[in-house]
Amino acid sequence: MNSDNPSFDHPDGPEFRLDSLTRQWVAITAKRQTRPNLPGADNCPFCVGGQEASEPYDVKAFPNRWPAMVPGERLDLDSSASLEEASVPARGAAEVLVYSPDHQATFATLDRAQARRVVDLWAERTTALLERPEVEYVLIFENNGAEVGATIPHPHGQIYAFPFTPPVAEREAQVAADYGCPICAELRDRPDLQARTIDANGSFVAFTRRAAAWPFELLIAPREHIPSIEQLDDSERDDLADVLRSALSRYRRVFDEPLPYMLWIHPGVHLHVHIVTTRRNATTVRYVAAGELGSGVMFNPVSPEDAAAALREVDPQLHTAEALDSHG
Ligand SMILES: [Zn+2]
Ligand SMILES: [Zn+2]
Ligand SMILES: [Zn+2]
């Protein structure tokens, strides 16, 4: 596929190396540094007529031109004789998913029908990628705002399809196996959840986490124990589209300027969406620095209860009248 892609099957393509200190895989993607300068505002590759979109579209998925992982044969990552020396081609996939042909849109400004198309595309690409023999885990994510490294403003997210279950997802799965599903427990049992809930509808709830690592960190999850996005039915997909629009609209409106954000979706045990911002308030960047990187312990300067109260106060002003029926 995509034979004009410079990284596919190139000897200097991306590779995984095993970190001998942590025994976790690290992707070395140095080849990607050779990518050309990014296009200017009048030359957007995702607008209709641009480099990646010759035909009109509603939503669109395509391989990343400078992928961090590339398709290929399945590799047995556990059988290497000397893991400390291990270096293997970074098999998997990296895709771009464009949310709308409208260059000015964001997920928060999509109408329900368009947001639903994005949810359906996430499900479709997840199914297709998991059918490949070299893929074991599909991570859907979005970086929104220059501050978190988004280089093209046109609304889009990405997918990384990994040849192994990445450590964060693996850890969450292990905790659920050892202690029971924490999301079911939270939605069923926790009396303090109400104070941290910012949005709710028939099948989804959005709330700040009791032990949030990031200011304004949100978790969005279905009320039912549904493992993955492909398993959501028709109305659940509408509800996911709605709760995402509403939560991200609150992120846009809680301060004078939209909060930059990072969003990622964890399938596997109990489907959930994480959303975090790199700000601690309207103007102050929240850096993760030596004390946190060095210890693995996060120090969150904003209480999750205060963050929920601030986000709940916002009128999300969704694009259409067919919005959420109730706010938790
Ligand atoms: Zn554009
Ligand atoms: Zn659950
Ligand atoms: Zn998670």
Residue 297: pLDDT band with limits 50, 70, 90: very high
pLDDT at position 74 = 85
In 3D space, the residue among 128, 60, 125 whose CA is nearest the CA of residue 99 turns out to be 60
Residue 127 has pLDDT above 60, yes or no: yes
Neighbours of ion ligand 2 (CB under 5 A): 181, 183-184, 225, 270
241's enclosing H/E stretch is helix 234-253
Helix axes 234-253, 112-130, angle to 10 degrees: 120
Condensed to tens digits (0 to 9), the pLDDT of residues 133-158 reads: 999 999 999 999 988 888 899 999 99
Query: What is the average per-residue pLDDT within 124-132?
Result: 97
The top-level CATH class assigned to 15-77+87-164 is alpha beta
Q: What's the predicted TM-score (pTM) here?
A: 0.91
Round the average pLDDT of the chain to a whole number and report it. Answer: 89
Spatial separation of the C-alpha atoms in residues 112 and 120, rounded to whole Å: 12
Distance 272 CA to ligand 3 centre (A): 6
Spatial separation of the C-alpha atoms in residues 217 and 278, rounded to whole Å: 10
From edge to edge, which strands make up the β-sheet containing 15-18?
25-28, 15-18, 87-89
Condensed to tens digits (0 to 9), the pLDDT of residues 306-323 reads: 999 999 999 998 876 454
Distance 316 CA to ligand 2 centre (A): 28
For residue 96, the SS3 value is strand
pLDDT at position 9 = 47
What tokens were used for 35?
């990518």
User: Torsion-angle region of residue 204: left (phi > 0), alpha (psi -120 to 50) or beta?
Assistant: beta
Spatial separation of the C-alpha atoms in residues 164 and 78, rounded to whole Å: 10
Distance 185 CA to ligand 2 centre (A): 7
Residue 39 has pLDDT above 70, yes or no: no
Give residues with Cβ within 8 angstroms of 164, minimum separation 6.
25, 77, 136, 137
Residue 1 has pLDDT above 60, yes or no: no
Query: What is the average per-residue pLDDT within 294-298?
Result: 95
Residue 5 has pLDDT above 50, yes or no: no
All CATH 3.30.428.10 domain ranges in the chain, comma separated? 15-77+87-164, 168-313
Query: What is the average per-residue pLDDT within 162-189?
Result: 96
Residue 194 phi/psi, 5° resolution? -55, -40
pLDDT at position 323 = 47
What one-letter code names the amino acid at 308? A
Q: Give the CATH fold of the 168-313 domain.
A: HIT family, subunit A (3.30.428)
Query: What is the average per-residue pLDDT within 30-41?
Result: 61
Ligand nearest to the CA of 43: 1
Lowest mean pLDDT across 50-54, 212-216, 317-321: 317-321
Spatial separation of the C-alpha atoms in residues 208 and 195, rounded to whole Å: 9
Distance 229 CA to ligand 1 centre (A): 27
Distance 225 CA to ligand 2 centre (A): 4
Spatial separation of the C-alpha atoms in residues 121 and 107, rounded to whole Å: 14
Condensed to tens digits (0 to 9), the pLDDT of residues 78-121 reads: 655 566 567 888 999 999 999 999 999 999 999 999 999 999 99
Residue 213: pLDDT band with limits 50, 70, 90: very high
Distance 186 CA to ligand 2 centre (A): 9
pLDDT at position 34 = 55
Residue 171: pLDDT band with limits 50, 70, 90: very high
Distance 176 CA to ligand 2 centre (A): 9
Distance 132 CA to ligand 3 centre (A): 24
Task: For tokens 């599909």, name the residue.
Answer: 138
Ligand nearest to the CA of 52: 1
